[in-house]
Copies of this chain bind each other. A is one copy, B any other.
């Protein structure tokens, strides 16, 4: 992770985190990826594939496209390779690379795909410019990001809101932006992309969907917030009692009469 330039990481590569990222992809795959289908023969760059949590869905939905999935972390790439091999997927090759210094020719990809990466970057606009360079004219750029400020639940408490705010603030201190979802439209426009279309992908969870309560509310979102406990307390953003109440309150919202809301944003545009 030290070799990642201009990037910051709230999500650690712990075993628990690994499980979270996989849960997220499995559960949200349809919501996030169903409308991304690349034609046969298309050469697609997946920038920042991490442990391959999205790669399997991406490659499966476009079985005749050829994917090059890159990440800075050799360890993540090893995990991603194993995951793709276990899924019997053949149309992905992996390569260790820095998104800000892409080892590819100008306009060498037909399409570029990015998921959950820009939120960690100190300069996401610079990353978009780097990605545009390797994208052919008329090719598409797809970016999917979350927005932690889009979260709310019922019943909601001040402590639960503050715990989520800690996650946002810690990501900001590390140079990232946990509210980047709502910024994708102006970022794409600033990068000179055309025909920019941003669509919200809202996750609404109540107890009629116990699978989503488990996979999204508990194992994705609350687990992610819980992951910054030590940092939040060390920074004095909350005290331990308030933090623990906030987390308990979030779990309360996963009970039979609770609800849970979060929104991802998906941006699509063409390189002019």
Contacts and interface: CB of A to CB of B under 8 A. Distances in A.
A263 B150 CA distance: 10
Given A153-B182, A154-B186, A182-B153, A199 B208 contact: no
17 contacts: A150-B261, A153-B182, A154-B179, A154-B183, A156-B179, A185-B257, A186-B206, A186-B258, A186-B259, A189-B256, A190-B257, A197-B208, A198-B259, A199-B204, A200-B202, A200-B261, A202-B202
Given A183-B259, A198-B206, 9 more contacts: A147-B152, A149-B156, A182-B261, A186-B206, A189-B257, A197-B208, A198-B204, A198-B208, A200-B261
Interface residues of A, number: 31
A259 B202 CA distance: 16
A185 B190 CA distance: 40
A202 B190 CA distance: 25
B206 A185 contact: yes
Interface string A249-272: 000000011110101010000000
A258 B200 CA distance: 15
In the complex, the count of this chain's copies comes to 2
A196 interface: yes
A257 B184 CA distance: 10
Contacts of A190: 257
A213 B149 CA distance: 21
A41 B196 CA distance: 45
Contacts of A259: 182-183, 185-186, 198
Contacts of A156: 149, 179, 182
Contacts of A179: 154, 156
A162 B78 CA distance: 47
Contacts of A147: 152
Contacts of A258: 186
Nearest to A255: B186
A213 to B, nearest CB: 12
Nearest to A152: B149
A189 B257 CA distance: 8
